[in-house]
């Protein structure tokens, strides 16, 4: 739970606390500007083992191994990174029934300035739907803890991955400096 404090908790503080309350100790990421405060907080908290992988599918392999070894893990990536993982999802995570927790910082919508990002974003939900992978687009702070907490519990209970797409409506996104 988030401690009582004078200001409302930031989205990344809610994610961190929810990971912790669900005993998710490993976080492997490919860096993303919007996720920077979450990544910094994961590094700063000794509860977590947090480090960068060179590629998103590598990060998925690492947390798959960790799960099988008894350690819960999450992967953090950007929308464009999602484009690199369908094979790892379809041939490792889904068939082996690994409850991978995947956080995607959503680019490509709501003010995107890079066409490459915008196109990859369009592939994301159809890919997840075609693999029947549970996924939630989170736009509201007041729903964040509920969705993440319940979905982590469901992932573990049903041995299935879940993808959290964190919308710019939640995180502020990345803004084009015009």
Partner 1 sequence: MTGSQHNAKVMNRFDLTKRLVTALKHEEAVIAGIGNTNFDLWSSGRRPQNFYMLGSMGLAIPIALGVAIAQPRRHVIALEGDGSLLMQLGCLSTVAVQAPRNLTIIVWDNGLYQITGGQPTASAGTADLVAIARGSGIAKSAWAADEADFDRLVAEALREGGPSLIGARIDGEPGVGTTDRDPVQIRARFMEGLGVKR
The residues of the shown chain that bind partner 1, judged by CB under 8 A, are: 26, 49, 51-55, 57-71, 73, 87-88, 90-92, 95-98, 156, 159
Please report, for residues 30, 92, 101, 155, the alpha-carbon distance to residue 97 in angstroms, rounded to integers and kept in the order given.
Answer: 23, 8, 12, 10
Nearer to partner 1, 14 or 152 (CB): 152
Minimal distance, residue 112 CB to partner 1, in Å: 27
Is the CB of 11 or the CB of 48 nearer to partner 1?
Answer: 48
What is the layout of strands, in order, in the sheet containing 101-105? 49-52, 24-29, 72-78, 101-105, 162-166, 134-138
Within 22-107, residue ranges assigned H as helices are: 36-44, 56-68, 79-82, 86-88
Nearer to partner 1, 46 or 95 (CB): 95
CB of 172 to partner 1, least distance (A): 29
Q: Shortest Cβ distance from residue 111 to partner 1 (Å)?
A: 31
């Amino acid at each position: 739970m988030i401690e009582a404090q004078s200001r409302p908790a930031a989205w990344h503080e809610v994610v961190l606390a929810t990971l912790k309350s669900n005993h998710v100790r490993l976080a492997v990421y490919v860096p993303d500007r919007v996720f920077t405060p979450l990544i910094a907080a994961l590094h700063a908290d000794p509860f977590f083992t947090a480090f960068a992988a060179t590629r998103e599918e590598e990060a998925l392999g690492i947390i798959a191994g960790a799960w099988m070894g008894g350690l819960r893990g999450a992967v953090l990536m950007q929308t464009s990174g999602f484009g690199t993982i369908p094979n790892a999802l379809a041939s490792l995570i889904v068939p082996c029934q690994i409850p991978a927790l995947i956080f995607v910082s959503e680019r490509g919508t709501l003010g995107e300035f890079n066409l490459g990002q915008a196109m990859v974003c369009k592939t994301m939900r159809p890919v997840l739907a075609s693999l029947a992978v549970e996924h939630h687009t989170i736009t509201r702070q007041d729903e964040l803890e509920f969705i993440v907490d319940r979905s982590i519990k469901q992932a573990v209970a049903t041995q299935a991955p879940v993808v959290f797409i964190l919308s710019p409506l939640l995180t502020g996104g990345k803004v084009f400096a015009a």
